[in-house]
A and B are shown apart, each in its own frame.
Chain A
Amino acid sequence: MTRLSRISTVAAVALMSLGFAQLFPAQRTNPPSSAQLVGPSPVVATLSRACYDCHSNETRWPWYSHFAPLSWVIVNHVEKGRRELNFSEWNTYYPNAQRRKLRWMGRALSEEKMPPWYYRLAHPDARLSASDRILLQRWIAGTLAGDTSAQ
């Protein structure tokens, strides 16, 4: 087998595998949001820009999320993200659960763990500036302290 024919065989097998994978589409869903977070507009706008794709029912599915196997990875990631924290279901959380989630958010922000680096690479608009982080941290601190103007 010549080198060229070997490359062609590998490419053909890869294409066939990709084609076969499309027979198993991932379920991309955006269920209706009935209990979404209500907060100051700049806070909601920042969260919406940086977090809502994975942590709400308002995911902006990118074009590449239509194609397996990437779609499987993305759908799985969004499902996990929504399960951990879903701003569209914020008002269904018990007050205690809201406080816990706010504290985790504060930690993730201060450790710069969120949004994850790989997500920021694909979505540069989701990057949080220092002032974005301060805005969110102040809102979190105010809400945890029971400051209703922060809500």
Chain B
Amino acid sequence: MHSRLRQPLFPTLLPVSLILVVSLILLGRQPARPETASSEIRFENHHFTPQSLTISAGQELVIKVVNASSETIEFESFKLNREKAVQPGETISVHLPALSPGSYDFYDDFHQDVPEGTIIAK
């Protein structure tokens, strides 16, 4: 009974196994999806901390901007094309695509005397 079952199954299993093996090889060759990293920038005592943030180029990023001050700020970056007001005590998430290597400045648009910060993608 067993041998009768094995014989017709073999020709069917062979192509299925081949397809499975080829698919696994192809999947393995696909570039790994960039992972999303996260960082935090804190606004307190009239300046951003850290003022310079180094991140990996080519990796999506979520920056949490924490406004620990008592005034509304606007986290803004022309190069990153982002502008978002942050109320006192509020934390916002700024989603950034995978960045090319380079320097991206950010600032508080509501307080021009606040020193600029920089995101460095390496």
Contacts and interface: CB of A to CB of B under 8 A. Distances in A.
Interface of A: 83-84, 93-94, 96-97, 100, 103-104, 107
Given A100-B78, A103-B78, A93 B110 contact: no
A95 to B, nearest CB: 10
Question: Chain A at the B interface: mostly helix, strand, loop or mixed?
Answer: helix
Interface of B: 74, 76, 78, 81, 83, 107, 109-110, 112-113, 116
6 contacts: A83-B110, A93-B112, A96-B112, A97-B112, A104-B78, A107-B78
Contacts of A103: 78
Contacts of B74: 84
Contacts of A93: 112
Given A94-B112, A107-B81, 7 more contacts: A84-B109, A93-B112, A94-B113, A96-B112, A100-B78, A103-B78, A107-B78
Binding site secondary structure of chain B: loop
Contacts of B116: 96
A104 B83 CA distance: 10
Nearest to A84: B109
Contacts of A100: 76, 78, 107, 109
Contacts of B81: 107
Contacts of B78: 100, 103-104, 107
A133 B83 CA distance: 23
